[in-house]
Structure 1
Amino acid sequence: MMQQGSSSSFWSLGAVIPHFSLNRSGSGSPKRHPVLQEFETKLVEKFDALKEAGEELGFLSIDWLLQALSVVLSTHSSVEALIPNLTFPLSNRDDKWVDEYLDDSAKLLDVCNVLKEGISELEQYQMLVQVAIRNLQVKECGKDANFYRARNALHDCLAAIKMKDTEYKQGHARSKLESCSSMLRTMGEKLVNPKVMEAVKGNGFLNAIYGAKVTTIFLCGLVVIALACKPKRPLVNLHVSNQCLWASSLLSLQQRVKEETDKRKNKGSIALLRELDNVDVLVRRLYEVVDKKVNERSLFTNTQDSEQLSFLVEELACTSQNLGRGLAPLEECVNELFRLLIASRIALLDLLSSAKEK
């Protein structure tokens, strides 16, 4: 069950691209702790590398999303590594951020489960595509049953995409991905920049948490967009502190992703995940050809029809392979994020327990 009513759910995800803007102020930034300096410098490098990879691989392609999730994982690993070295006392004044950290990380554990379900849905879709391909690759042209099975599998593929596209309309319960979207929107509206003194407490842990918040909202939110069809939510407007070294790199990356996704939407793409969109286009074309021939009871008896069918089938086989090969690694990344969240919670709870015993 998704947890509701949190005052600060920074780990929530959603089927939207958050819009980040710099929050500029005239106050000078305090001197950074070396650990925080290293954390933020690496985050700048990762955002810049993601932007460059997007130009090469395509934003919202599976390979790019895997690289984006690797940034999320490394950011969480860095935060976990900072916990044992906290240097400021865990007094009653610190209860708020501790509670928020534990509450928000618990929400992300739920969200990881939602993401895994979304990936599982794509795996089932991929299995239907493979059923159609196998039946259409059968050499014996006289086996009409293969064409009927292929048509039924392709029809189920189209129905699955249509359901994802319409499940938010009247009369349909909100999907779990849509619930994540609502959580992200609420969280984005309540996200607060670290105060100057809080930002440098201890070894910069609170500022590192802030960096992890924004990184997770943005990049994992893109994974949700990719798993959903035609995101319904408007952009979330988040304000990123200009005290963060990585702010401008994040804004630049976000702008490029927004440009590309807007372009895809304007072209009428149902799926923003590139590989899924490519497969969907071919599934539609192949279904039209097979359905027409089945209805006409002229099951590809001439050479021209057979060549057209073979071409479409082989193109779909190649394209669906690109989709299928990325789903397992994507799920592995989500599982690793789940593990890191558990490890961070245990590390912080152990630290709290030790502090109370002293």
Structure 2
Amino acid sequence: MTHQAASSLLSSLGSVLPHFSLHRATSNVSSKQQQRHPVLQEFESKLAEKLEALKLAGEELGFLSIDWFIQSMTVVLATHSNVEALVPDLQFPLTERDGKWVDEYLDDSAKLLDVCNVLKEGISDVEHYQMLVQVALLNLDNNNNNESCFSEAKYHRARNALQDCKEAIKKKDTEYRQGQPKSKLENCSSMLRTMGEKLVNPKGVDAVKGNGFLNAIYGAKVTTIFLCGLLVIALACKPKRPLMNLSVTSHYLWSSPLLSLQHRVKEETDKRKNGGSIALLCELDSVDSSVRRLHNLIDGNLTDKKLGPLPKPQWQEMKQLVEDLRKNSAHLGSGLGPLEQYVNELFRILINSRLALLDILSKSNWQSV
């Protein structure tokens, strides 16, 4: 990967998210100056601002809503794109002492690539669920626009599609809570939790390497583990483990905003779990609720063999339930595409960063130990 190619990616990324830039720095500065290097200072300030903005967005949009998750992914993308921007500035000599952080960086970035793949599969599962919802809506729209219009076959097709929706959610729920082998989402959640437990804050000479590169990596990893971990469990159903609780040192500018956001999100996840929500992702839970109510109404009428048009009260109830399902499903569907796009962007940025670092290592004849 050339620096020109990396710059091209960052330019294109800037058109789809509020990306903040980091100015390049000179390499001939003292260790004391590096501890307060303006590049790292700007990285931390901007990350703090974005985490604070994400908390405010949660209050407005709703924590755990698909719109909020889309915004959270822009924060993850921005932090990683800025880590990538710092890689070409790594001009310090690489020694055997650097082997540990180099290996950790390459290992963790490989794990995050796996996380991206699992997230894409999770989004694809919800898209399939959405397709079943649309099948049901299509049959109900053609069968329910007028009281005089009635087709028992269409009600049967709608009921079957809604039943498939319920089975799809039940399967996700069962796999996540009881699954042996574990579902990919649960394995991914466990891996991120382990990464969070093993996070080490850079100290001493390691903390001032390059332009504070290791500190920037630390901030990016903390942000990614928290926000991507939250998205993983939101795409599943009834996660059996509580939300991970990341511990970070307080001296970073972004520490307080992140801990405050983490606390607020935990309040919301606990509220939804205690309220009996089947899914932490708000729109998915709303669609599931509409699916179950509508299925019960249709199934009850077909079981009772009421083969004529529904009585007016039930017809009106059916019409309202269909409208609720259409509204909830549309909101969920409109967010899945952008969410998947941002996951793909994160995957590409992680690849670019790895290639850029490996290029530096090869030029320095470095061999990891």
Q: Percent identity?
A: 68
Q: Assess if the C-alpha contact under 8 Å between 2:176 and 2:239 holds in 1.
A: no
Q: Which residue of 2 aligns with 1:312?
A: 321
1:234: how far off? Answer: 3.1
- Give the AA of the match of 1:106: A
Q: Which residue of 2 aligns with 1:341?
A: 350
Q: Assess if the C-alpha contact under 8 Å between 1:126 and 1:324 holds in 2.
A: yes
Equivalent of residue 75 in structure 1, options 58, 76, 79: 79
Q: Assess if the C-alpha contact under 8 Å between 1:69 and 1:219 holds in 2.
A: yes
Q: Which residue of 1 aligns with 2:279?
A: 271
Q: Deviations over 1:197-238 (max 9, x none)?
A: 311222000000000110001111111121011111234343
**Counterparts of 1:169 and 1:340, CA distance in 2:** 33
**Do structure 1's residue 61 and structure 2's residue 70 form an aligned pair?**
no
Q: Which residue of 2 aligns with 1:181?
A: 189
Matches within 5 A, 1:115-134: 115-134=119-138
Q: Assess if the C-alpha contact under 8 Å between 1:191 and 1:238 holds in 2.
A: no
More displaced, 214-223 or 28-37? Answer: 28-37
- Give the AA of the match of 2:227: L
**Counterparts of 1:41 and 1:65, CA distance in 2:** 22
**Do structure 1's residue 236 and structure 2's residue 240 form an aligned pair?**
no
- Give the AA of the match of 1:35: V
TM-score normalised according to structure 1 size: 0.88
Q: Assess if the C-alpha contact under 8 Å between 1:229 and 1:270 holds in 2.
A: yes
**Do structure 1's residue 222 and structure 2's residue 230 form an aligned pair?**
yes
**Do structure 1's residue 350 and structure 2's residue 359 form an aligned pair?**
yes
Q: Name which structure has the greater RCO, CA cutoff 8 Å, separation 6+.
A: 1
Matches within 5 A, 1:5-154: 31-139=35-143, 141-154=149-162
TM-score normalised according to structure 2 size: 0.86
Q: Deviations over 1:35-66 (max 9, x none)?
A: 10000000110000000000000001011000
Unaligned stretches of 5+ in structure 2? Answer: 1-31
**Do structure 1's residue 253 and structure 2's residue 222 form an aligned pair?**
no
> How many aligned positions are there?
330
For the residue of structure 2 that corresponds to 1:258, the secondary structure is: helix
1:169: how far off? Answer: 4.7
Q: Assess if the C-alpha contact under 8 Å between 2:35 and 2:207 holds in 1.
A: no
Q: Assess if the C-alpha contact under 8 Å between 1:29 and 1:243 holds in 2.
A: no
1:170: how far off? Answer: 4.7
More displaced, 294-303 or 141-150? Answer: 294-303
Q: Assess if the C-alpha contact under 8 Å between 1:29 and 1:196 holds in 2.
A: no
1:266: how far off? Answer: 0.9
RMSD: 1.8
**Counterparts of 1:175 and 1:206, CA distance in 2:** 33
Q: 1:108 to 1:31 in 2, by over 3 A?
A: closer
**Counterparts of 1:315 and 1:166, CA distance in 2:** 27
**Counterparts of 1:311 and 1:239, CA distance in 2:** 46
Equivalent of residue 165 in structure 2, options 134, 157, 164: 157
Q: Which residue of 1 aligns with 2:16?
A: none
**Counterparts of 1:245 and 1:231, CA distance in 2:** 32
1:30: how far off? Answer: 7.9
Q: Assess if the C-alpha contact under 8 Å between 2:65 and 2:283 holds in 1.
A: yes
- Give the AA of the match of 2:346: L
**Counterparts of 1:195 and 1:318, CA distance in 2:** 51
**Counterparts of 1:148 and 1:236, CA distance in 2:** 43
Q: 1:60 to 1:168 in 2, by over 3 A?
A: closer
Q: 1:352 to 1:171 in 2, by over 3 A?
A: closer
Q: Assess if the C-alpha contact under 8 Å between 2:35 and 2:212 holds in 1.
A: no
**Counterparts of 1:53 and 1:76, CA distance in 2:** 21
Equivalent of residue 192 in structure 1, options 200, 211, 214: 200
**Counterparts of 2:151 and 2:291, CA distance in 1:** 21
Unaligned stretches of 5+ in structure 1? Answer: 1-27
**Counterparts of 1:189 and 1:251, CA distance in 2:** 15
Q: Deviations over 1:130-185 (max 9, x none)?
A: 11111011147332110001000111111111111111455642100110122122
